Amino acid sequence: MEEPSALDLPSVPVYHNYLTSLVAEANVVAMSIDYRLAPEHPLPIAYEDSWAALEWVASHYNGQGPEAWLNDHADFQRVFVSEDSAGANIAHNMAVRAGVEDLEGSEAVRGLFAIRSIQPSLCLKEMDSSSEAVAYEFLPYFRAYRDGRVERLFGTDIVPASIDSQAAVSTKDIIFLPESGVSARLFIPSTINAGQKLPLLVYFHGGAFCFGSPFCAMYHNYLTSLVAEANVVAMSVDYRLAPENPLPIAYEDSWAALKWVASHCNGRGPEPWLNDHADFQRVFVAGDSAGANIAHNMTVRAGVEDLEGVKLLGACLVHPDFVSREGRVSKAWFFACPTTTGSDDPRINPAVDPRLSRLGCSRVVVCVADKDGLRERGWFYYEMLKKSGWGGMVEIVETEGEEHVFHLFNPTCDKAVALLQRLAFFMNQD
């Protein structure tokens, strides 16, 4: 999730959480439009739906509209339109139309509406000067303030674990670093037989090192689907997040997770699911976006440090976050890792890491998306690894016509299912 993608899905928690936070911060009344979507409803239908929404709002200006909240609490002298990505295009077009058409056909109503098309990140500055306290924001997912407060607008929901689930996959939560309370969620096929050994996947979620969780619906559901498809045991790591816990803490937590996994290789570890069912000769790491960066760094470390009986076979890097070909490093990286030296930091730029040729696994798959802003960074990583002298096999898989981590936001689409199946195949091939 390095760059927010244009995902017009108003039903996902991202937009509900973002609007909830914006309303609380700006002290406004808000209306979020569920306009009809293409291709079933091609443009200009979305524009017409959005204009109809403004006309419906205008019907309340005299206090006699159908919605009491607007009648009682909306100030029609201070109306704003705002959105992100494709929605920002809609907001602009609504402002254009409001300049030439009457709302409700009344000059009085038209005069009551002061519609401005503004970027979401400017919305607070227009309405509330306290926004100057913002130190960093990655909307619509995350905001940090200069006084140390942090707002996470994504990944804070929790799906309860379910042991002995009647569904295809059972889950449980464990703490693997008691001294700091760092935890993980385990996944196992519910139909597994006594003594049956399966490949083990250790997964690191994305979120610019600042947000996300194994327990939120998006990652819980994705890992559940992947475990069911691949027939593996999985551990999804809840590493500590920046800025409260700046990098390299997430890397250290993730390495501690792998060491904890390795403590089970003799069948005497603290977790029965791993003792009884994990095949430690078939271990994989995977992650998306920032999590793919973590997965890479774990394979680098595994190449130079012992994992006590664990054979790390492969790494799945989905839409990974690294330096660009030109040496550009994202603002998110500098925010999460304030001690970084920038583009010559091997954690974000594998090209400068002398350990790359000793990567501690035998095969890697890099997944990129055609419309992802990080696409070229994934290709750059793939090319670097091929030239590094590493003796393993690396392949790259590109999904046409899709955005960053599309498979998480739209997991049932054909291309997301195909990507899931490709990762499952990678973990089960000889």
* Rounded Cα gap, residues 54 and 74, in angstroms: 13
Dihedrals phi, psi of 278, to nearest 5 degrees: -90, 130
Is the sign of the CA dihedral 101, 103, 107, 109 positive or negative? negative
Phi, psi of 117 (to 5 degrees): -95, 115
Instruction: Residue 376: count other Cβ atoms within 10 Å of its Cβ.
Output: 14
- Distance between CA atoms of residues 418 and 420, nearest Å: 5
CB 350 within 8 A of CB 356: yes
Nearest to 31 by CA among 3, 59, 5, 6: 59
Going by their DSSP bridges, the two strands 134-138 and 169-177 should be labelled as: unpaired
Q: How far apart are CA 116 and CA 96, in angstroms?
A: 10
289 in catalytic set: yes
Amino acid at 358: R
Distance of alpha carbon 241 from alpha carbon 234, whole angstroms: 21
From the list 264, 350, 340, the residue with the least C-alpha distance to 303 is 350
Q: Which of 289, 343, 362, 388 is catalytic?
A: 289
Structure tokens at 216: 């939120």
Q: Which residues are catalytic?
A: 289
